Amino acid sequence: MQELYTKLHKFDLDYAIKLEETDRQFIALKELINMQSEKKVALALVVANSIICYQLSGTWENYWEEFSLYFSSKKISYENIVSQLSEFIKQSKNNKRFIDTKIKRLEKVKVALELLKNKEEYFYNNMTELRDLLAKTMKQKITDKTIVFAVKMFGYVGRNIFSFVAYPKEIFIPIDSRLTNLFEKYKWEYTDINKFYLDLSQKLDIPLLHLDWIVWINYEELMK
């Protein structure tokens, strides 16, 4: 790990935040919030969409831009989030796979959305509780990619509605192929990938969800 830490130690949280604001997904969600009158409902919409954001048929950036464009002109409410998202993915160009399974996941996440209603700012200030609520509702692990990714996207939207809040340090990073490759290269005596990144995050003093985009942007250099 020490070699990876040496390559990353020059970066800090401010750098991570500036990088995140160049993320096409962040920009797409900012545009959605600017266009939506129901800004707090959009937080729940984004959480629900994150739960079905896997096995995409297009890039993640293209999918979130498609999502933002579609919902910018829609009247949304807590009552129609699931039905509108279901209709959206049926005609989406970038999320064509496992439609029936994803619609079932949307039906399942309704419980969490009901508990989120009128408590959006509370959960934004207590994102660990949102993670736990989603994991319990979906019957998944708190480290699962869709769970932590939902919190990340919730945070992206939240900072465009409320004042900035950093991601909690105890929320894990969404593990993808790039993070797996870096782990295999630098793991030393580590056998648990989540423990590896948690320790790296603590050493760098950068929350894992903020470290995520730093690693993504600098991946090619880090793999040399």
Q: Say which of 110, 176, 187, 199 is annotated catalytic.
A: 176
Q: Give yes or no: 145 in active site.
A: yes
> Among candidates 104, 157, 95, which has minimal Cα distance to 130?
157
- What values do phi and psi take at 72, rounded to 5? -60, -30
CB 156 within 8 A of CB 47: no
150: left (phi over 0), alpha (psi -120 to 50) or beta: alpha
90 catalytic, yes or no?
no
Collapsing DSSP to helix, strand or coil, 141 comes out as coil
Q: What is the distance between the alpha carbons of residues 155 and 136, in angstroms, rounded to a whole number?
A: 19
Pick the catalytic residue from 74, 110, 145, 203: 145
Contact, 208 vs 201, CB < 8 A?
yes
How far is the first Cα of the chain from the last one, in angstroms, to the nearest whole number? Answer: 15
Rounded distance between C-alpha atoms, residue 143 and residue 195, angstroms: 11
List, by residue number, the catalytic residues.
145, 176
